[in-house]
Structure 1
Amino acid sequence: MTEAATQPTRAGSRPPQTARRARARARLVPYWLLLPGMLWLIVFFALPMVYQASTSVQTGSLEDGFKVTWHVAAYWDALSAYWPQFLRSVLYAAAATALCLLFGYPLAYVIAFRAGRWRHIALVLVIAPFFTSFLIRTLAWKTILADGGPVVGALGSLHVLDVSGWLGLTEGHRVLATPLAVVCGLTYNFLPFMILPLYATLERVDVRLHEAARDLYAAPFTVFRRVTFPLSLPGVVSGTLLTFIPASGDYVNADLLGSTDTRMIGNVIQAQFLRTLDYPTAAALSFLLMAAILIVVTLYIRKAGTEEIV
């Protein structure tokens, strides 16, 4: 036996095998902590996705039952039949996202840099709409945009409806059941999703950078263009993604504020699932929508040139 093997173990020290087991258990701790979340994703995301994928390649009817026949042509048939709704969904979601950025950025800027002691109250007011049902908030816009309401009257007196009618957003002096109404509903409902990431990014901007830029005789707009906005790009990317993705699949606003001419792809999927009962077509449309959103988001993130997403 060697001398090292014959020496007794020092008091308070662990044998090498026990230490290795302790290190192995320590390495497994993060995986045990991830296990509940992974199980949740598998049960409520991965398995339904697999089931939807199998449904999209089935054929049959509700009376005779559906069978997996690998009918992949259902994807092309669905896209050929409903491509206008796909395009309309992307356009409406993009318009609502642009309006949310236009309205949300100044508000987030004021809350982050100018609100002072009123900052927390302003944030509560931003998230206050979440205390009310999404459906009720959308129904309220039917009253706001009613034909004889003050909003339509004011827009008509300012000749805004004449311009929007020329652009195809409204019909005459009517706002309800038009693309403008749907975009307004989407903008209102998803505006907090734009404001909160923007505020979270702007709030971390060091105000001493603004002071340094002003000390170098930079104009206020130059300070915003060269300092504030570049530093807030992660919030812009996050806010646009959080707004565009749910808005493109929304169907409540188009159903309550629009008409048959403003149907989005979410309305088609909802009708195919619950009214027509054409499950393969509905599943194929769902996967096409997810693929389209994934492509748009990937291209947008690569174009934005930022990996730091709030």
Structure 2
Amino acid sequence: MRLYGIDILRGIAAFGIVGCHLLTEPRTAAGSAILHFCGMNVAVFAVLAGYFTHILPEGLGASLRHRLGRLVPIYVLWTLVFLFVQFILKMVHHEGLAQYGQIGFWISVVFKGCGSGGYLWFIIALIYTQVMALFILRKPVSIVVPLMLAASGIGLSILMPYWNGHGHFMFRLFGFVWLGIALRRVSYGTWRLYGVGALFALILHVVLQSWVHPTLRDLLVSVPLCLFAARLPTCFATPRISAVARFLGKTSLGVYLMHPLTARLGNVLLEHVFAAPYGPGVVLLDWLLAWVGALGLAAVFCSIPSTRRFVQ
């Protein structure tokens, strides 16, 4: 089987979504490097790759370059806005400003986005809004709506000092529900790509966490995951297996959405109620509860006639 560039791009996007939420503990050098990589692309690159690779033909073409080119000035502008807001906040809270004289800080701001919790929200809001407009309203929208969403991101970051753009529950609620609605026309290969990829990463992560050195575990999980996800669209030939993969993929969005709540619930049950140390059991319980929550969420959506077609 031949892997095309588009397939690799899809695989990297899937890795960005699941990788940053699995490779967390213990924090090894390899794990930290992977987390930094995911922090740069999980909120922006995954959406860009997933969106453009389904609306464009096999070659990325001039349209992709044009769309990305329009985002570059916005990215630069919002970087300056973020730096200004952060500078004001540090002055108000009487924090040190020495980092502004360090080259490493500026490199981190431009290429990493300082944890995706600041100005990257603006680009995400732009992308999500345009996706919703193109697929639902069949026309582009004014810049006012993305600006309002971006302003809400600034408000959250000011009111909640530890707010993180791709980790906050309300961000997931907005982003992934509407992205799932917007991409309702995409073939089920997309859903099984993310669903089975996430399930594979979970199993591999839990197994390696128990018996393999953490640094080796991080490398073993991250290196093959991109290629594995890239091959998923052609891995399932029989209708029955494809149906199962489609079901898993549909609920994967719900799993990602419910994860912040179920993670806290799983930790409370095992660590405080049953006095069990953090380990594979907590991870498994976390994800099992997430699947139950995802199924419940899908059932609620399917029971509403006006939204039924969005989840079918």
Q: Judge same fold: TM > 0.5, yes or no.
A: no
Larger Rg: 1
Structure with larger RCO (C-alpha < 8 A, sep 6+): 1
TM-score by length of structure 2 reads 0.26
TM-score by length of structure 1 reads 0.26
